[in-house]
Amino acid sequence: MTTAAVIVAAGRGTRAGGPLPKQWQALGARPVVAHALGAFRALPDLAPLVLVLHPDDFARARALPEAAGARLVSGGATRADSVLAALEALAADPPAHVLIHDGARPLVSAELIGRVRAALAEGAEAAAPGLPVTDALWRVEGGRVAGIADRSGLVAAQTPQGFAFAPLLDAHRARSAAGQDAPDDVAVARAAGMQVTVVPGEARNLKITTAGDFLRAIRELEGGMEVRTGTGFDVHAFGPGDHVVLCGVAVPHERGLVGHSDADVGLHALADALYGALAEGDIGRHFPPSDPQWKGAASEIFLAHAAARVRARGFRIAGIDLTLVCERPKIAPHAPVMIARIGAILGLDRDRVSVKATTSERLGFTGREEGIAALATATLVAP
């Protein structure tokens, strides 16, 4: 049984912004419609492939490698008329089935196309993907909620929509003869009495309408969000003094911490975690200890620099977790102000900043109160 595919790309929609209709705007290295065409071309037993275009777009389409071998058909005034033009182009040598797909849905998968075809092969006269509606649905009048729709049994319509060819052509001819329009081919088929089987749709199979949809599609194409994790570890020894600086907060103690800068072991571990997540070395690489200008420096400078590197590399900080290891001073009473200080330096809400402490049960150098150790983890995400 032959199955033809029709990609409908004749619309002039520019709601997504930009000078070109959305299906001709670039998504990655190729126009949106090239992604859709490529998905169908990759299935060699689907033929012929028909691309319905606005007359102005024929030259653009001929330049696409994905359109090689496709039949280019001039669309009509409405989407329904464009589909009818494609069906008429197939009518001389009719296929058994036809799949009709929106050119503005670039991320259609082979599995989804396969589900529609399988339903047709099992005898359905029409089959289309639907995605269950999960958000509540409101009817809004004058900016206010006027009613709440029952979403049970509701699905959002997707494409490709598949049909037995002959009855769909008849249905579209009847619609056109009656001077009627239709939002999609399922509506045309149902008006002619055809039964439409619903197969599971895919959230990824989004229809590009707005600029935000382009961002979503790019994220999907690139395999979703990139996540990086970095760790940092630091130690400073106790020496003479009457306070220690931890996480940018001066904490009274009978000794101080020894170091080239202010010896803020917490902020050093955190900065190293951020540099580590970026694979950009550690504090010493960015602020060499041999450079006298960092002597006695407030370590907030280092953390702020690491955070600026995170932003410059296109990441944001999803969260940080810091553990200070010491017997004394007690950290817990100071933790809230430490969290606020780190949050201010990094521009993070306090629910993304964790500062906690532990003793080492009097074991080792921290147990003997020779110094303080700190361990940090940072998680970065992009975009």
Taking each helix axis from N to C end, the angle separating 300-312 and 265-277, rounded to the nearest 10 degrees, works out to 10
| DSSP annotation string for 19-37 | SS-GGGSEETTEEHHHHHH
- Distance of closest approach, residue 343 Cβ to Mg ion, in angstroms: 21
- Closer CB to Mg ion, 185 or 234, in the complex: 234
Stretch that binds Mg ion, among 229-237, 246-254, 272-280, 300-308 (CB under 5 A): 229-237
Buried b or exposed e, range 151-190, using 16+ CB within 10 angstroms: eeeeeebbbbbbbbbbebbebbeebbeeeeebebbbbbbe
Instruction: Give the shortest CB-236-to-Mg ion separation in angstroms.
Output: 6
For Mg ion, which stretch binds (CB under 5 A), given 33-41, 172-180, 206-214, 262-270?
262-270
At closest approach, how far in Å is the CB of 268 from Mg ion? 4
The verdict on 232 binding Mg ion (CB under 5 A) reads no
Select the span of 16-24, 174-182, 261-269, 367-375 touching Mg ion (CB under 5 A): 261-269
Site for Mg ion contains 234 (CB under 5 A): yes
- By residue count, the chain amounts to 383
Q: What is the dihedral of CA 238, 272, 297, 364, to 10 degrees?
A: 0
Cross-strand bridge partners of residue 226: 382
Strands 26-27 and 30-31, bridge-based pairing = antiparallel
Between residues 129 and 259, which has the closer beta carbon with respect to Mg ion?
A: 259
Least separation in angstroms between residue 201's CB and Mg ion is 54
CB of 16 to Mg ion, least distance (A): 49
Q: Which is nearer to Mg ion, 184 or 262 (CB)?
A: 262
Nearest residue to the partner Mg ion, using Cβ: 268
The CA distances from residue 307 to 99, 196, 277, 320, in Å, are 50, 54, 11, 12
Q: Which is nearer to Mg ion, 20 or 251 (CB)?
A: 251
Which is it for strands 155-157 and 126-132: parallel, antiparallel or unpaired?
antiparallel
Q: Which is nearer to Mg ion, 100 or 263 (CB)?
A: 263
Under rule CB under 5 A, which residues in 264-283 are in contact with Mg ion?
268
- Nearest approach, Cβ of 353 to Mg ion (angstroms)? 20
Return the number of the residue (213 or 234) whose C-beta is nearest Mg ion.
234
C-alpha–C-alpha distance, residues 172 and 156, integer Å: 23
Listing DSSP states for 262-302 in one string gives ---HHHHHHHHHHHHHTT---HHHHS-TT-GGGTT--THHH
Of residues 93 through 152, those in contact with Mg ion by CB under 5 A are: none
Is 278 within 8 Å of 309 (Cβ atoms)? yes
CA gap 315, 212 in Å, rounded: 19
From 150-158, 190-198, 215-223, 226-234, span contacting Mg ion (CB under 5 A):
226-234
**Residue closer to Mg ion, measured from CB, 258 or 344:** 258
Torsion angle of alpha carbons 307, 310, 314, 319, nearest 10°?
-80
Task: Report the residue number, 268 or 334, with the smaller CB distance to Mg ion.
Answer: 268
Cβ at position 259, least distance to Mg ion in Å: 6
- List interacting residues with Mg ion (CB under 5 A): 234, 268
